[in-house]
Structure 1
Amino acid sequence: MNLSKIKTILLALGVTIMAFSMILFPEESFNASIRGLNMWWEIVFPSLFPFFVISELLIGFGVVKFMGVLLEPLMRPLFRVPGVGGFAWAMGMATGFPAGAKLSTRLRQEKQLTKVEAERLVSFTNSSSPLFIFGAVSVGFFHNPRLGILLAIAHYLGNFFVGLCMRFYGKKETRKYKQKKSLWMIFHQAISSLHRTRLINKKPIGKLLGDAVISSIHTLLMIGGFIILFSVINKLLYQLNITLLLAHATEYILMLFNLPKQLGVPIIAGIFEITLGSQMTSQVSAASLMQQAMITSFILGFSGFSVQAQVASIIAETDIKFKPFFMARILHGFLAAVITYVFWKPFAEKFHIVSGNNAIPVILQEHDLWWESTLHLFVKVGPIITIISLLVYIYFFIRNMDSTK
């Protein structure tokens, strides 16, 4: 029996087990689905949709090309990607998963990136959003908003180092780049690129907006499906005791790093889905806050199979390989955990992470309240934004169908 047949049998067996598990545990499966739907409905959709639409419009109007020329002297020497990668990097940090993959794919489709450059770029432009790190993880799970400062620094700094490491990927590729240009020449070239892109793209504004809405919501519906699916899978794995079995295998690794074995289950849960893994990590009383922060940083860096499946689905539209992204996620997880450990002592003292609310500077108290109120605002307003956006999507979709008849 060859490897391909074995793979087919294992995949069929896995799907069959999941199907029977959903029949055996209908209530748990339903609750897990609702949990995933609420995450998408309240937080993911309203936070990502505006950025996705604006990104599509910025690409269509040539603004990304303009920024790319300006950022070329920074991005090319550091990460060996064109300047347009700076836009994907910034939007990925601001909006969270999987915006970096979405933008990298679009830039590859626009032929603004080579295959290797796109694989480099997608590896370090996908990260958790500040809203998720501060709002969901720090406030929602740990009830400690100041912990988010350290988690965010470890996460984004880790991603920066991943980008530096990935510059050595595809080493044999050569591309000429002239570094010696005056600021005026760079700016003039950027303006020319902006104008050229606008002239090439002859779509009217209404058509561009409609296409941006349709493309964005298609992607967000796919993301929602993956979030719900992996929420159910994670729950079923726990019900079948597979999570506990895998957690036992991690105990020896945890002992090597002097970490409590109780963190094994949260790690396995986080490997599949970051939200549940982060939540379970915050509930392990046997671990210190520093140990919980390290594991949470690893989970955020690895991103979980749920996010990785979303990225794999998005980049499948191009010739971008998934393997470099997967290896980068492993590297990011370990780098973020190490950075958390190294920075823990100075940050814990400076930002009063461990101490309660006693003798906290006013500026930090305001910081705490801002993230808490932002999270509550998204939970309250998010579903309304989602419904309105879906109605707009239906309008543009019907209009596009009528125009093609």
Structure 2
Amino acid sequence: MERILDQSKWKTILLAGVGIFLALVLVLYPEEGFRSSVRGLKIWWDVVFPSLLPFFITAELLMGFGVVHLMGVLLEPLMRPLFRVPGAGAFVVAVALISGNPMGSKLSTRLREQKLLTQAEGERLVCFTSTSGPLFIFGAVAVGFFENAKLGLVLATIHYISTITVGLCMRFYRSDDPPSPQIGSRRENLFIRAMRAMHRARIKDGRPIGQLLGEAVTSAVQTLLMIGGFIIIFSVFVHLLTYVGITKLFSIFLAFLFQTFSIPATLADPSIAGIFEMTLGSQVVSEPDVQASIFAKIVLVSAFLAWNGFSIHAQVASVLAKSDIRYKPYLFARILHVCFAIAFTFLLWPILDHLVTEKPTSITVFWNTTGETSTEWRTYQYLCLIVFLLGIFYRFFTSKGYQKTTTR
């Protein structure tokens, strides 16, 4: 008990220290804080708000109409065997793949509130529905930053394959927990059972169309205001850390670590930016001044998309706080997603490289003519070691002993 209290005290001191530091920097450099705040506000107003608002409103309407229950019955035979979540999770997967973060966590929380998911199923669902949307991958990253539309196909293929792989892995998380009950009776025809489930859900909701639409708009705007606040504060935080030179210290350490793994040290600065905000990191790594191969840049951007950035982490944690779905499984899934994204980039690059390079290469480029392993191949070997160690940690994470301690 004393140890827990000591940890709590240190956490309080750390959080207070960060808050005091941020306040002091804002007081000392108000002009820089204002500029970065305006930049974050512009990103939210010009990109995030108009792109996510229709999806948020539509998702709320579909849930009120009972479409979630319809998909829950129709896709039950697919979702439970593959991902160990009820068929209603397919609705979250579909909307999250289209709209991107943080839609998956928001809808998972709503399904948990409606008792359509257990706590374990909600945590599994959040882990593989926190994805980047195709609009962001193709529009912002591929076309906007790299000015290469074909690059979006490469990034999207890697991102979504690794996302599905994470979902297949997380099905073993808390595998002994009882599943949520299935909707309807198995004796009925599947389609009839789905239609009846949708009708019962709409009648049970009971809200007229005007009230449902008004509450959908209100809920969507409130959620987007919360997202906008996180985008602005992280824009200010990252810019001020860079302005006062703190990120330079992290960059030096990361450059040394990259050299150890035979990774170009020029990618250290973009990596620091991508850890905090994947949009900023993707923009920095796409600049011509960053001296690295297109392959190395794709590896890094794939890692950014899988990690989500601390800005998305904060948004997801805020949404999950409204339910009993915990943040730790989501954090672990992001680490797992990063490893899978990097691994699939190495594995699929010989197949996809012709989309972004003029001279297609093959797997033989990873081996020099002198017989010595190239930097890319050495990096791949290190990656295999990291995935192996992560697999050991994952085994511990899904063990019965760990699960008992986390469910108390």
Question: Structure 1 length as normaliser, TM-score?
Answer: 0.84
Contact 2:159 2:341 survives alignment (8 Å): yes
Is the CA contact (8 Å cut-off) linking 1:155 and 1:300 kept in structure 2? yes
Equivalent residue, structure 2, for 1:386: none
Tell me which residue corresponds to 1:336. 341
- Partner secondary structure for residue 42 of structure 2: helix
State the match for 2:397 in structure 1: none
Q: CA deviation at 1:81?
A: 0.1
Give the number of equivalent residue pairs.
Answer: 352
Amino acid at match of 1:49: L
* Higher relative contact order, chain-length normalized (CA < 8 Å, sep 6+): 1
Q: Which of residues 222, 235, 239 in structure 2 aligns to 1:235?
A: 239
Cα distance, 1:28 vs structure 2: 2.2
Residue from 212, 220, 225 that aligns with 2:224: 220
Aligned to 1:49: 53
User: What is the match of residue 318 of structure 2?
Assistant: 313
**Aligned partner of 1:99 among 83, 96, 103:** 103
Output one character per residue of 1:52-98: Cα deviation in whole Å (capped at 9) or x when no partner.
11111111111111011001111000000000111101110100110
Q: Would the aligned equivalents of 2:92 and 2:129 in 1 still touch at CA under 8 Å?
A: yes
Partner Cα distance (2:212, 2:247) in 1: 46
Whole-angstrom distance in 1 between the partners of 2:336 and 2:62: 31
| Equivalent position amino acid for 1:267 in 2 | S
Q: 1:303 aligns with which of 304, 308, 311?
A: 308
Structure 2: 5+ residue runs without aligned partners?
Answer: 360-408
**Residue from 354, 370, 395 that aligns with 2:357:** 354
The residue aligned with 2:282 is 278
1:128 and 2:132 are equivalent in the alignment: yes
When residues 252 and 168 of structure 1 are mapped into structure 2, their CA distance, relative to the original with a 3 A threshold, is: farther
Amino acid at match of 1:247: S
Which residue is equivalent to 2:194?
190
Q: What residue is the counterpart of 2:269 in the other structure?
A: 265
Root-mean-square deviation (Å): 1.8
Deviation per CA, 1:97-156: give whole Å up to 9, x if none.
100011101100111000110000011111111111111111111111111111111111
Shift of 1:285: 2.8
CA distance in 2, matches of 1:216, 1:256: 46
What are structure 1's unaligned runs of at least 5 residues?
357-405
Partner of 2:171: 167
Matched, 1:290 2:290: no
Output the CA distance in 2 between the equivalents of 1:105 and 1:331: 22
Instruction: Note the C-alpha offset of 1:172.
Output: 1.4
Q: What are the within-5 Å matches in structure 2 for residues 63-74 of structure 1?
A: 63-74=67-78
Whole-Å separation in 1 of the counterparts to 2:153 and 2:308? 19
Q: Contact (CA 8 Å) 1:116, 1:170: kept in 2 or not?
A: yes
Aligned match of 1:30: 34
Q: Give, in whole Å, the separation in 2 of the partners of 1:201 and 1:14.
A: 44
Return the alpha-carbon distance in structure 2 between the equivalents of residues 190 and 3 of structure 1: 49
Corresponding position of 2:362: none
My pick for the range that moved more, 311-320 or 256-265, is 256-265
Residue of structure 2 in register with 1:380 after alignment? none
Worse overlay, 289-298 or 278-287: 278-287
Deviation of 1:296 (Å) = 0.6
Question: Do 2:118 and 2:180's aligned partners in 1 also have CA atoms closer than 8 Å?
Answer: no
Cα deviation digits, residues 143-182 of structure 1 (max 9, x gap): 111111111111111111110111011111133889xx98
**Amino acid across the alignment from 1:297:** S
Deviates more, 1:194-203 or 1:287-296: 194-203
Paired with 2:60 and 2:261, the residues of 1 have a C-alpha distance of 45
C-alpha contact (below 8 Å) 1:259/1:287 kept by paired residues? no
Distance in 2 of aligned mates of 1:282 and 1:66: 43
Q: Who is 1:245 aligned against?
A: 249
Q: Cα deviations across residues 331-385 of structure 1 (Å, max 9, x unaligned)?
A: 1112112212222222121x2x1239xxxxxxxxxxxxxxxxxxxxxxxxxxxxx
User: 1:177 and 1:12, CA in 2 relative to 1: closer, same or farther beyond 3 A?
Assistant: closer
The whole-number CA distance in structure 2 between the counterparts of 1:56 and 1:208 is: 8
Partner of 1:204: 208
Instruction: With the length of structure 2 as denominator, give the TM-score of the two structures.
Output: 0.83
Find the counterpart in structure 2 of residue 322 from structure 1: 327
* TM-superposed deviation, 1:183: 11
Q: 1:176 to 1:135 in 2, by over 3 A?
A: closer
* 1:14 matched residue in structure 2: 18
State the percentage of identical aligned residues. 50
| Corresponding residue SS for 2:149 | coil
Alpha carbons 2:97, 2:131 under 8 Å: kept: yes
Matched AA of 1:71: L
How far 1:5 moved relative to its partner?
Answer: 1.8
- Separation (CA, whole Å) in 1 of partners of 2:34 and 2:179: 52
**Would the aligned equivalents of 2:121 and 2:179 in 1 still touch at CA under 8 Å?**
no
